[in-house]
Amino acid sequence: MGVLLEARGLKRYFGGVRALDGLDVTVNEGEIVGIIGPNGAGKSTLFNVITNVFPPTAGQVFYNGEEITGIPPHEVARKGLMRTFQRNLLYPPFSVLDNVRMALHLKSGYNFFEALFNTPSYRRKEELVDKQALATLGSADILALKDRISSFCSFGAQRRLGISVGVATQPKMVLMDEPMAALNPEQVSNITKFVRQIRDAGTTIAIVEHNMRPIFALCDRVVVLAQGRKLAEGTPAEIRDNELVIQTYLGRHGSAAAH
Amino acid sequence: MQQIKRLYHNNSIGLMVVPLLIFPIFAGGNPYLMFTGILALYTIGVTLTLRLKLSSYLLDIAGHLAWVGMGAYFSSALQVHLGWPFWVNLIAVPPIVGLISVLVAMPAIRTQGVYLAIVAIAFADIVVLFFGNMFTGVFGGHGGLYALPGVNNLGPISFGKDDHVAYYFLLVGIMAFIVYILRRIDRSRIGLSFRSVREQADLSEAVGLNVYWTKVLNWGISCSLAGLLGVFFAAYLRAFNPDEFSSAAGFFLMAYIIIGGRGHLLGPALGVVLFVVMRESLRSLELWQSLFWGVIMIIFIMFIPDGIYGLIKRGWEWGIAFRARQAAAPVPAPAAVAASTTPPPSERVGPSSG
């Protein structure tokens, strides 16, 4: 179980705002790591900097033993580090199946001329992609919706589809940005199950989340961020009892009153 | 109902073939009708190639004719000065135009939305100025080129000045080729990735698509097909001037697409046919025509944004639903009807992040 993802001294400034201020994070193979923190702690920025949507001001990112600092987002994805988005970011007018087919295009690997001339190898690859897409939808439990336009699906189904788009290629690692935001408790427990199922299929996961309870139930390790720095790191049980974390979340007065 | 729908979807292009083949039988003896028909068909071709660009939200509407113009000028120059036969130009010129378009796109595509439209319009006018002022010995200056040799005879088939039917079927062949390529793109992962760039470029990037080169590829294919039509245009008209490819002329393409509808390959074709029929029948209005077209455009943009094709499609689906209801079958879910109309492209301009 080696280190799969490592961020070293990661900094990202937006003008005078220090969204990330010298952050070190590691994720080991096969883990589910939760990244929590109050609003503005730099959680989403961390993912955006790792996948280089915003290049880091300073610091390095290593993935699978090689440095990926500064390589474009689509190259990061090609190396097997995928991400899902905070909002239900999908292709609204595409069918559910087409959303996943788009995600699988990396694996289809046919070129322009094969598609133009409708060669047998093109048809074979296309069939394979369709099969994989259907399997992905099946494991996300949204197979019945495959022909529906994605923007007409329910919020919960869109969320599952969004995650499916991220994991369709069975990547080595996926970064999930708030997969449980704005869901009701039942949906949260469904997503929790889904995330576990993805990990059990061999994908390492890092989750940014606001919802504490599912994170503590789900994660092997939790990293707490505040103002762009790491506040604490440890098992869910350790984090729950951490004095600093309680102070940050409840405020100094809150913790003083508790004593 | 599913079967009817499939039949209709698979054959909507096929439906076009019949009138295309019948047209010369009715109009073959009438040069005016043949001329109008050929130019209409050529314009349909241009809007089809433009529609490919729009599928990725590459707003090169007013500038698109510049690529047609390049095809026309290059093939004429090669034919007149180097003696290349038309048939060689037909194969050689589109890749040249495509290559130039890729070189232009590489810096241009760093801009998005309306900014790209501005770059494209500026480029179209540069092209017009270039052909109007540079190498006047080759390109004929602002007066344009005239007395061009046209299409070289192909064995027993003669392409003389009055052989409109021969030109017509040559154009039908070129169109068949273009439609074939566009359909293959539309149905493959490549078309999907073109559309994905319009809908959510951030997501496409996150699943590993090189958004930049996807746009450049789209631009290159679209421009080289436009160049192919330019080769035909020059050979058929045998005379043209640079202003025919200016951005001002290009704005008419927008009218065809808005009036016809952009949801399907047939949409712009309907727009062109309607436009040509109206223009020819409203000749008495003379200058007032422009005003009339302006009003029509505003009405379509405000009330019929999916154009005539969208109207027909909705009517058709309403008919199917109505018949289904009459047969006392359960009412089809409204989502199924709404689902099959393509929503308009999102009018995103800047990159959205979050």
Sign for the pseudo-dihedral over CA of A26, A27, A32, A35? positive
Residue A85 lies in a domain: no
Question: What is the arithmetic mean of pLDDT over A157-181?
Answer: 89
Average pLDDT of B91-100? 96
CA dist A235 and A227 (Å) reads 21
- The predicted pLDDT at position A256 comes to 43
Grade residue B86 by pLDDT with cuts at 50, 70 and 90: very high
Task: Please indicate whether residue B191 or residue B265 has the higher confidence score (pLDDT).
Answer: B191
Residue with tokens 């020059």: B234
Residues A184 and A76 in one domain: yes
Residue B152 scores a pLDDT above 80: yes
How would you class A237 by CB atoms within 10 Å of its CB: exposed for 0-12, middle for 13-18, buried for 19 or more?
exposed
Last residue of a domain, one of A169, A189, A214: A169
| A207 and A154 within one domain | no
Q: Same structural domain for residues A100 and A211? A: no
B266: closest CA of chain A, how far (Å) = 20
Q: How far is residue A10's CA from residue A59's CA, in Å, rounded to a whole number? A: 4
Contacts of A12 in chain B (CB under 8 A): none
Number of CB pairs < 8 Å for A and B? 107
Q: Which of A51, A111, A49 is nearest to A78 (CA)?
A: A51
Check CB contact of A181 with chain B, cutoff 8 Å: no
Task: Provide the pairing of β-strand A221-226 with A204-208.
Answer: unpaired
Whether residues A185 and A237 share a domain: the answer is yes
| Final residue in a domain of this structure, among A124, A146, A169 | A169
* A128 and A73 co-located in one domain: no
- Tell me what percent of the residues of chain A surpass a pLDDT of 90: 5
- Specify whether the CB–CB gap between A145 and A97 falls below 8 A: no
Residue A110 pLDDT class (50, 70, 90 cuts): low
| Domain membership flag for residue A241 | yes
Query: What percentage of chain B carries pLDDT values higher than 90?
Result: 36
Nearest to B206 by CA among A112, A165, A17: A165
- Residue A223 in domain: yes
A61 DSSP assignment: E
Per-residue pLDDT band at B352 (split at 50, 70, 90): very low
- Phi first, then psi: give them for residue A2, nearest 5 degrees: -90, 175
Say what the pLDDT of residue B326 is.
81
Q: Which of A30-39, A198-207, B10-19, B151-160 has the lowest mean pLDDT?
A: B10-19
Q: Give the residue numbers spanning the domain of A100.
A: 91-169
Residues of A in contact with B224 (CB under 8 A): none
In a domain? residue A212 = yes
With contact defined as beta carbons under 8 Å apart, do A77 and B206 qualify? Answer: yes
Q: What pLDDT was estimated at residue A255? A: 43
Same-domain status, A176 and A240: yes
- Whether the per-residue pLDDT at B347 is higher than 50: the answer is no
Interface of A with B in 140-169 (CB under 8 A): 147-149, 151-152, 165-166, 169
What residue has token string 């720095």? Answer: A229
Clarify whether residues A239 and A207 are in a common domain.
yes
How do residues A196-205 score in pLDDT, each as one tens digit?
A: 889 888 899 9
Strand partners for A174: A82, A205
Helices B247-260/B31-54 angle, 10° precision:
80
| A198: in domain | yes
Closest CA to A85 of A217, A242, A208: A208
pTM score, two decimals? 0.84
- Indicate the number of domains in chain A: 2
Q: How confident is residue B8, by pLDDT bands cut at 50, 70 and 90?
A: low
For range A128-140, the mean pLDDT: 87
- Contact (Cβ atoms closer than 8 angstroms) between residue B267 and residue B257: yes
Q: Which residues of A are less than 8 Å from B211 in CB distance?
A: 74
Please answer whether residues A32 and A198 qualify as being in contact, where contact means their C-beta atoms are separated by less than 8 angstroms. no
Residues A156 and A212 in one domain: no
Among A144, A169, A194, where does a domain finish? A169
* Residues A145 and A254 reside in one and the same domain: no
Least confident residue range of A103-107, B53-57, B309-313: A103-107
Q: Say if A86 falls within a structural domain.
A: no
Quick one: A165 and A190 in the same domain? Answer: no
* Same domain for A197 and A133: no
- Other beta carbons within 10 angstroms of residue B39's beta carbon come to 16
Q: Which residue has the higher pLDDT, B193 or B286?
A: B193
* Residue among B181, B182, B186, B203 with most chain A CBs within 10 A, to mutate: B203
Summarize the confidence of residues B200-227 as an average pLDDT: 92
Q: Does the residue A146 lie in any domain?
A: yes
Residue type, A252: R
Q: What is the pLDDT of residue B334?
A: 53
Residues A9 and A64 in one domain: yes
Q: Rounded to the nearest 5°, which phi and psi values hold at A5? A: -130, 130
User: What is the mean pLDDT of the segment spanning A143-169?
Assistant: 88
The predicted pLDDT at position B3 comes to 56
* CB burial string B223-239: b at 16+ within 10 A, e below: bbbbbbbbbbbbbbbee
Confidence bin at B348 (pLDDT 50/70/90): very low
Sheet holding A81-84, edge to edge: A81-84, A173-177, A204-208, A32-36, A221-226, A229-234
Contact A77 B208 (CB under 8 A): yes
Query: What pLDDT is attached to residue B344?
Result: 46
Reported as a pLDDT band with limits 50, 70 and 90, residue A109 is low
SS3 (DSSP) at B218: helix
Residue A200 lies in a domain: yes
> What is the per-residue DSSP string for B60-80?
-TTTTHHHHHHHHHHHHHHHH
Give the ipTM: 0.85
Contact A105/B at CB under 8 A: yes
- Is A112's CB within 8 Å of B184's CB? no
